[in-house]
Amino acid sequence: MANGSGGGSYPGGIRMSNNINANNLNTDSSSSPVNVPKMDALIIPVTMEVPCDSRGQRMWWAFLASSMVTFFGGLFIILLWRTLKYLWTVCCHCGVKNKEAQKINGGGDTQADGACKPTDEKEENVAAEVGWMTSVKDWAGVMISAQTLTGRVLVVLVFALSIGALVIYFIDSSNPIESCQNFYKDFTLQIDMAFNVFFLLYFGLRFIAANDKLWFWLEVNSVVDFFTVPPVFVSVYLNRSWLGLRFLRALRLIQFSEILQFLNILKTSNSIKLVNLCSIFISTWLTAAGFIHLVENSGDPWENFQNNQPLTYWECVYLLMVTMSTVGYGDVYAKTTLGRLFMVFFILGGLAMFASYVPEIIELIGNRKKYGGSYSAAMFARYVPEIAALILNRKKYGGTFNSTRGR
């Protein structure tokens, strides 16, 4: 970190440092009584890493650009591949038809001695390549399939690590939105990096196994990976942390009911529906609170980030809950333009969700209490006398009618 005025991260700073040190040495070695004020040397380490400037420089655009380039770049490649594949099919379809017609009419190409020509080597290579790709795709499908033990373990592990990454976000939310951090000294950043490396590998497996690459690219889980995985690598390179869109990991909570089904914890349809409703409600709540926390603590870009306000993440959770329930105490409110625009649209969707999900959740919980529960011996003891009386009366008046008995 450079000290003193006029410091910068450009290469010329090193030359400037040498000049200053040389002047200081000449001044010290001379016997002149004139006191020259000392200047702090500009020390700039020569490393491959980008030095972090903590004096107000903002690099949020680099983190966001990494996610945008990954998402739209991959989308462009998929669409380009589909277009080229379609054009190749259309252009070569007529040639394939003519070739097949010639084979049918001519009975196949033959050599001079009447023997059939061997199969074209190019067609054999294409068939072998297709077979290899199919094998890899089948292997990846087995690895992530919930029908296999390996697939279930991977799904549960990814969910657990996503919750762990969300907990790290909760811890880091108490820090500034953007700050200088050293990867080798920040323990939470190291753990988050390990989690995201695993998410990247799992994303590759899912991409290979996907039948429709375009649909896979637009899935919710894929979008979550796009906006959470690349910024971590940028953070290591820039020695800077940006809280950013890491709150999107809360969307993984939507799969909570599936995870409990894999573990054979949920077995009835009502319990599955109850957990599914609660997980959707909570994940939407936490995700929206994360966005409000980001924009309110950052400020509006067109206002030069001057209209920000310090809000903790849990204050934003409280704000979203009172807004969703239409209570609105007014003690906490959005100050930025982005935050207010988001609140306008969130009220419409959140109110509909609150009005539909909460009554249904309460109804499911009420039905579960009515027909659920476990066997109680004390409860059974109250009916023992009645049961005994019924058994005795059955013995007294029971049996079959015998016509010879009354003679």
Band the pLDDT of 53: cuts 50, 70, 90.
low
d(CA 340, CA 308) in angstroms, rounded, equals 12
**pLDDT given for residue 51 in this prediction:** 59
Mean pLDDT of the chain: 77
Taking alpha carbons only, the member of 357, 358, 330, 360 closest to residue 343 is 330
**pLDDT given for residue 293 in this prediction:** 95
Least confident of 17-26, 89-98, 243-252: 17-26
**pLDDT given for residue 5 in this prediction:** 42
Which amino acid appears at position 252 of this protein?
A: R
Give the E-state strand segments of 202-307 in sequence order.
240-242
Taking alpha carbons only, the member of 277, 257, 290 closest to residue 159 is 257
**pLDDT given for residue 181 in this prediction:** 84
The residues with which 116 forms a beta bridge, in sequence order, are 110
Band the pLDDT of 125: cuts 50, 70, 90.
low
Q: 337-371 vs 313-324: helix axis angle to the nearest 10?
A: 70
Band the pLDDT of 24: cuts 50, 70, 90.
very low
Which amino acid appears at position 372 of this protein?
A: G
- Is the per-residue pLDDT at 6 higher than 70? no
Mean pLDDT of 280-289: 93
Residue whose entry in the numeric block shows the structure tokens 């003519």: 98
**pLDDT given for residue 94 in this prediction:** 56
**pLDDT given for residue 330 in this prediction:** 80
**pLDDT given for residue 15 in this prediction:** 41
d(CA 133, CA 127) in angstroms, rounded, equals 10
Band the pLDDT of 96: cuts 50, 70, 90.
low
Per cent of the chain over pLDDT 90 is 36
What pTM was estimated for this model as a whole? 0.69
Band the pLDDT of 226: cuts 50, 70, 90.
very high
The residues with which 180 forms a beta bridge, in sequence order, are 240
Per cent of the chain over pLDDT 70 is 67
d(CA 84, CA 231) in angstroms, rounded, equals 32
- Is the per-residue pLDDT at 22 higher than 50? no
